[in-house]
């Protein structure tokens, strides 16, 4: 089970990191379009399509990566004050009631959309370039499957926390500057408390 959970976390990690390269393609396409439109007065017929395809692919395929890092936005002004067991119980119930039904619906509906788009060779209707978009719709059920697997890993993590009272460790590789500064101050405060407690015991 441990190996399987690590495999799920790594799958979400590599999916997110691979599709993160879409941001470079998106940046190049938008920059090129701005240059040729306003400098050369010759706008392209494909930049808009490429930009929304790249953004859509990045957005949908990075979802499981964000779940694996506990990075989705939440109103945690109460949640963060709870004990780990209460947090885990709350998360466990929400995953069962809301997360999995939504992800299953995403897989089912996405498969229907992708199958029809693939069958008809769907292309974009927003530009004369007729960029194919069936490949973008094919990502919807794939993203749903990865989200489902990551959700399974999360409920196992919740169950372990309910049993032990401690959250299992997560992979961490990217952190916002605000979070990094917060953690740095927490570590400094902990270091100041430890010598004080040690001196109190020795006396």
pLDDT at residue number 179: 63
With a cut of 70, list the residues of the chain below it in pLDDT: 1, 75, 172-180, 182-183, 185-187, 189-190, 193-203
CA angle 155, 157, 158 (to 5 degrees): 60
DSSP 76: T
Question: In this predicted structure, what is the pLDDT of residue 167?
Answer: 86
Q: pLDDT at position 100, please?
A: 96
Residue 194: predicted pLDDT: 60
Q: Which residues pair with 123 in a beta bridge?
A: 132
Could you tell me if 87 and 161 are in contact, meaning their C-beta atoms sit under 8 angstroms apart?
yes
> Which residue in 26, 13, 32 sits closest to 58, CA to CA?
26
Helix (H) or strand (E) holding 8: helix 2-19
Burial (0-12, 13-18, 19+ Cβ within 10 Å), 53: buried
Write the CA distances from 62 to 67, 175, 180, 191, integer angstroms.
Answer: 9, 15, 21, 36
pLDDT at 130: 81
pTM of the predicted structure, to 2 decimals: 0.78
């Amino acid at each position: 089970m441990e190996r399987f959970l690590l495999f799920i976390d790594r799958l979400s990690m590599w999916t997110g990191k691979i599709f993160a390269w879409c941001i470079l393609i998106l940046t190049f396409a938008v920059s090129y379009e701005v240059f040729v439109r306003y400098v050369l007065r010759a706008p392209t017929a494909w930049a808009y399509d490429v930009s929304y395809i790249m953004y859509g692919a990045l957005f949908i395929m990075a979802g499981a990566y964000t779940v694996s890092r506990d990075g989705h936005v939440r109103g945690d002004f109460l949640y963060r004050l709870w004990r780990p067991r209460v947090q885990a119980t709350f998360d466990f119930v929400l995953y069962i009631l809301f997360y999995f039904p939504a992800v299953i619906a995403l897989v089912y509906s996405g498969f229907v959309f992708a199958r029809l788009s693939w069958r008809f060779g769907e292309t974009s209707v927003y530009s004369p370039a007729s960029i194919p978009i069936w490949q973008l719709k094919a990502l919807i059920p794939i993203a749903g499957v990865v989200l489902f697997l990551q959700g399974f890993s999360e409920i196992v993590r919740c169950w372990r926390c309910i049993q032990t009272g401690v959250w299992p460790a997560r992979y961490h590789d990217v952190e916002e500057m605000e979070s990094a500064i917060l953690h740095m101050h927490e570590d400094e405060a902990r270091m100041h408390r430890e010598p004080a407690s040690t001196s109190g015991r020795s006396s």
